[in-house]
Amino acid sequence: MQKITPWEVSGKINYERLIKEFGLTALPSKLPEVFKNNILFKRKFIFAHRDFDRILSAYQNKKKFVMMTGLMPSGVFHLGHKMVADQIILYQKLGAKVYLTVADIEAYNSRNTNLEELKKVAIEEYLINYIALGLKPKNVDFYFQSSRSKDGKKSNAYYALAGFLARHATFNEFKAIYGDISPGKIYSSLLQASDMLHPQLEEFEGKCPVIVPVGADQDPHLRLARGISQRIKLYNFEQLSSTYHKMLPGLQGIDTKMSSSKPESHIALTDSEREVENKIKKYAFSGGKDTLEEHRKKGGNPDIDISYQYLTFFEEDDKKLEEIYNDYKSGKLLSGELKQITIEKINKMLKEHQKKRDKAKKQIDKFLKW
Amino acid sequence: MQKITPWEVSGKINYERLIKEFGLTALPSKLPEVFKNNILFKRKFIFAHRDFDRILSAYQNKKKFVMMTGLMPSGVFHLGHKMVADQIILYQKLGAKVYLTVADIEAYNSRNTNLEELKKVAIEEYLINYIALGLKPKNVDFYFQSSRSKDGKKSNAYYALAGFLARHATFNEFKAIYGDISPGKIYSSLLQASDMLHPQLEEFEGKCPVIVPVGADQDPHLRLARGISQRIKLYNFEQLSSTYHKMLPGLQGIDTKMSSSKPESHIALTDSEREVENKIKKYAFSGGKDTLEEHRKKGGNPDIDISYQYLTFFEEDDKKLEEIYNDYKSGKLLSGELKQITIEKINKMLKEHQKKRDKAKKQIDKFLKW
């Protein structure tokens, strides 16, 4: 059975079914160049949206818009997290004001969380990697749910909004959207709705389009916030926009997840060249055949090959990627050779990234303005 | 059936049963003079408590303690509200730091509330009357739930506390305590728990005894906050103390309530002498007999006579009150005469009060520090 909530994802994710069940819309084939050339859009990692036209229109008409996303630090920052970071940075380049919340209150309510540790990881793992990947301090509002900025007025408006939103949701709505709920989950979902909606308060940016790029498992939060936003008359909110991306699979196979707490499932942005090589050689699920003869004869299956899947995220060159696909499928390219291509591609990226991380550390203070 | 929740009180309130059902404790007969001489304690308007010894001990040992209460402005400030105001002022005189929250988020979640109007009433009706009744600006922290002080740090701690408390309550607990619930009620109850507990945060007073004087209908909020406060290990809270007072009955009879929205049920602190006279003569339920002859012969019943009941709140002199009780019961004192005594007593108080109100207006700014 397909079970997707912000707190639990199990079983294989059927993206077609997701679109249908949750009423998402497939991405339009005609997109401005800047999106079409982005690897996440080009390779259909981003596969669906709600109200994305508001963002396209704001971008094309050079109107103000906001990119909002949250992070719940759970240890190591891995390639799956990079996929979100790349989107944050893309929207910043397109002119969006960036709102980044560390969902510490949600974390406390849904996990066994050491709040001091969480704060450390949010800054030293997540923020540093965002900066190293290209996030600039200008127009970024990075905050913790438990301490929204230092300006009393602003933070009050954020918390008060969550309190006022509460009136406009029913239990049945919560149950329909989230399945199992608890007071802690209700509270943090309302706070998350405030995370998404408060950029439009007078005290912040005022009414404007807000794009929330999420994995499909986060759609419940969008459904709740979108529903309430149009019911609450105390404010005048523009409806939220969202896009949905597929998760980068875990090393164990196309239907597995990268997990921060399982090193054998992910490649971390802090992994050494040696670790990357070992992990891919040892763990990356292969679409190849059992013997060399068989592989040469029947070919491999790139569609379930994890090394190939990772390449679709790293190999910008469409032609090169197609060649690899065809060569692997025909049996010309061996599994070991494919793994080697991926290892080199990832290590090249990581080598540069790790240099940038050292520089990034010096920039942290520019983001911690409160 | 007896139904008491913070949002609904119906039927006759049986205080003995309340003590039993909710596990309250009757007030000790030995109290320091300052309490024994206070009319609310002396006449047993305050009839029960939880952990009141913490407050007695803090008072007697000159240790820091906090008096916390909330107000949900609902129009006119009447004699029933004065009963709470008198307690606030008593504790301030005893050295307590006073926390006064305007429960605007709760109001929005439980009523049809115009927030602008609510703010106006909170200040121009409630705060002014508190000041006129004797509240001094020193050591008073008057705030709205939707905008907790102007100091960003402080307000964040208050809101974050509510978010963290959420984890430590279950649905079953909410249902057992409140009966019917909704996301809005869950949210505002958690915020109210934060109202009661946040004075003990490092950012405010630090760990110390907190007295929350309430009507019996507010005990559910205490039960929730007291339960969570001892479960949450993130903080180290001293258990909350509370006292419970009987409501001053409405003009229509001993089992009715003063309602802000029904002028015929209450005497407002802004009523004119003429209005007080008219209301008592016309509406105050009488314990007298139907005819003069019968009254002289059989006597009246002060226990159900509203004028007499109000006198127990206004006539400080025990002997005088006893005389009136006996004279009315014997038939010596007529209903009209009893009403006249009450009218004069209330009007004398209101005349002075209304002068003080004019002075109080000039002091408002001292309370609005944010």
The domain spanning residue B183 has which CATH number? 3.40.50.620
Instruction: State how many domains chain A has.
Output: 2
Closest CA to A192 of A264, A115, A106: A106
Q: A43 and A164 share a domain?
A: yes
Q: Judge contact between B354 and B129, C-beta under 8 A.
A: no
Residues of B within 8 A of A151 (CB-CB) are 152
| Contact call for A166 and B147, based on CB within 8 A | no
pLDDT recorded at residue B2: 47
Closest CA to B87 of B200, B264, B214: B214
pLDDT tens readout for residues B66-107? 999 999 888 899 999 999 999 999 999 999 999 999 999 999
Let me know if residue B364 belongs to a domain.
no
pLDDT recorded at residue B12: 65
Decide if pLDDT at B155 tops 90.
no
Low-confidence ranges of chain A (pLDDT < 50): 1-2
pLDDT recorded at residue B55: 97
| Chain A residue at shortest CA distance from B115 | A234
pLDDT recorded at residue B6: 58
Let me know if residue A369 belongs to a domain.
no
Q: How far is B113 from chain A (nearest CA, A)?
A: 11
| % of chain B with per-residue pLDDT over 70 | 95
d(CA B149, CA B143): 6
Kindly list the residues of chain B whose beta carbon comes within 8 Å of any beta carbon in chain A: 105, 108-109, 115, 145-157, 159-160, 162-164, 166-171, 174, 181-184, 186-188, 190-191, 234, 370
Let me know if residue A166 belongs to a domain.
yes
From the number of C-beta atoms within 10 Å of its C-beta (0-12, 13-18, 19+), residue B12 rates as: exposed
Let me know if residue B150 belongs to a domain.
yes
Q: How far is B178 from chain A (nearest CA, A)?
A: 13
Let me know if residue A368 belongs to a domain.
no
pLDDT recorded at residue B11: 57
Q: A107 and A177 share a domain?
A: yes
pLDDT recorded at residue B4: 54
Let me know if residue A222 belongs to a domain.
yes
3-class secondary-structure state, position B195: helix
If you count residue pairs, one on A and one on B, with CB atoms under 8 Å apart, how many are there? 125
Residues of B within 8 A of A180 (CB-CB) are none
Decide if pLDDT at B16 tops 90.
no
Q: Judge contact between A335 and A114, C-beta under 8 A.
A: no
Q: A112 and A222 share a domain?
A: yes
Q: A81-106 burial, b if ≥16 CB within 10 A, otherwise e? A: bbbbbbbbbbbbebebbbbbbbbbbb
Q: At what angle do helices A183-197 and B152-166 cross, to 10 degrees?
A: 140
Which structural domain range is residue A276 located in?
263-357
| Chain A residue at shortest CA distance from B169 | A183
Q: B38 and B174 share a domain?
A: yes
d(CA B180, CA A229): 25
Where a domain ends, among B222, B247, B272?
A: B247
| Contact call for B163 and A108, based on CB within 8 A | yes
Q: A190 and A275 share a domain?
A: no
d(CA A260, CA A273): 19
* Residue of B187, B231, B232 best to disrupt the A interface, most CBs of A under 10 A: B187
pLDDT tens readout for residues B104-151? 999 999 887 899 999 999 999 999 999 999 999 999 999 999 988 655
| CATH number (domain holding residue A297) | 1.10.240.10
- B41 versus A151: the higher-pLDDT residue is B41
Strand residues in chain B grouped as ranges (E): 3-5, 8-10, 25-26, 46-50, 66-71, 97-102, 140-144, 210-215, 241-245
Give the one of A160, A174, A183 whose C-beta lies nearest to B169's C-beta: A183
Given pLDDT bands bounded at 50, 70 and 90, which one contains residue B1?
A: very low
Let me know if residue B302 belongs to a domain.
yes
Where a domain ends, among A194, A220, A247?
A: A247
d(CA B43, CA A281): 84
d(CA B23, CA B48): 10
Residue B232 CA: distances (Å) to CA of A116, A193, B189, B235, B355: 16, 25, 16, 6, 48
Q: What is the ipTM of this complex?
A: 0.88
| Contact call for B159 and A159, based on CB within 8 A | yes
Q: Judge contact between A68 and A99, C-beta under 8 A.
A: yes
Q: A242 and A271 share a domain?
A: no
Alpha helices by DSSP H, A241-317: 273-283, 292-298, 306-314
| Chain A residue at shortest CA distance from B174 | A183
Mean pLDDT over the full length of chain B: 92
Residue A8 CA: distances (Å) to CA of A171, A180, A212: 20, 11, 20
Q: A221 and A316 share a domain?
A: no
Let me know if residue A123 belongs to a domain.
yes
Which amino acid is residue A98, in one-letter code? V
Kindly list the residues of chain A whose beta carbon comes within 8 Å of any beta carbon in chain B: 105, 108-109, 115, 145-157, 159-160, 162-164, 166-171, 174, 181-184, 186-188, 190-191, 234, 370
Decide if pLDDT at B9 tops 60.
no
Q: B76 and B46 share a domain?
A: yes
Q: B210 and B291 share a domain?
A: no
Q: Judge contact between A221 and A6, C-beta under 8 A.
A: yes
Q: At what angle do helices A15-22 and A219-231 cross, to 10 degrees?
A: 20
| Contact call for A150 and B155, based on CB within 8 A | no
| Contact call for A370 and B169, based on CB within 8 A | no
Alpha helices by DSSP H, A43-182: 53-60, 79-93, 104-110, 115-121, 128-133, 152-166, 171-178
| Contact call for B160 and A105, based on CB within 8 A | yes
pLDDT tens readout for residues B267-311? 999 999 999 999 999 999 999 999 999 999 999 999 999 999 999
Q: B197 and B59 share a domain?
A: yes
Give the one of B105, B156, B170 whose C-beta lies nearest to A147's C-beta: B156
Q: How far is A116 from chain B (nearest CA, A)?
A: 11
Decide if pLDDT at B193 tops 90.
yes
Where a domain ends, among B247, B277, B306?
A: B247
> In 10 A of CB A120, how many CB atoms?
12
**Residue found by looking up tokens 């913790």 in the block:** A144
Q: A157 and A14 share a domain?
A: yes
Terminal Cα-to-Cα distance of chain A (whole angstroms): 45
pLDDT recorded at residue A148: 87
Q: B124 and B217 share a domain?
A: yes
| Contact call for B160 and A183, based on CB within 8 A | no
